[in-house]
Amino acid sequence: MISKKPRIQRKRLYTAPLHIRRKIISASLTPDLKAKYKIRSMPIRKDDEVVVTSGSFAGLEGKVVKVDIKNYRLHIEGATIEKADGTTIFYPIHPSKVMIGKLKLDDKRRKEIIKRKTGALEVD
């Protein structure tokens, strides 16, 4: 059973094993993808194209370069900052601040997820 106490929810978030953290790092789909696949959200993976919805990079569309499961953050191409020594690094963005714009469907497990959620026979 899921606790209603915020401190217990926070503790479960911080102590979650990696296979559960991967599911926690999910984001909603854009309205056209919701209509197409008839699902609301999916776990984010590398090479998905996302749209940043809030924060200093709001409106940015880019490909996910890295998914940091340990810290619950995404690295998106185009979302970079320059450090004091001049090096450029990716700015970590929380998955709740993005929407998936294009799914990478070359993974058979991902197609199975969509089939299971929608009851569809075939995914294009």
Domain housing 52: 6-118
Write down the pLDDT at residue 107.
Answer: 86
Amino acid at 116: R
- Is residue 113 within 8 A of residue 105, CB to CB? The reply is no
For the record, the structure tokens of 99 come out as: 């929407």
pLDDT digits (tens, 9 = 90+) for 23-46: 999 999 999 999 998 999 999 999
Q: How many domains does the chain have?
A: 1
- Is 1 domain-assigned? no
Q: What is the CATH number of the domain that holds 69?
A: 2.30.30.30
- Is 20 domain-assigned? yes
Write down the pLDDT at residue 22.
Answer: 92
pLDDT digits (tens, 9 = 90+) for 55-103: 999 999 999 999 999 999 999 999 999 999 999 999 999 999 999 999 9
Mean pLDDT of 103-119: 88
Query: Which distant-in-sequence residues (6+ apart) come within 8 Å of 91 by Cβ?
Result: 56, 57, 75, 79, 80, 81
pLDDT bucket at 1, cuts 50 / 70 / 90: low
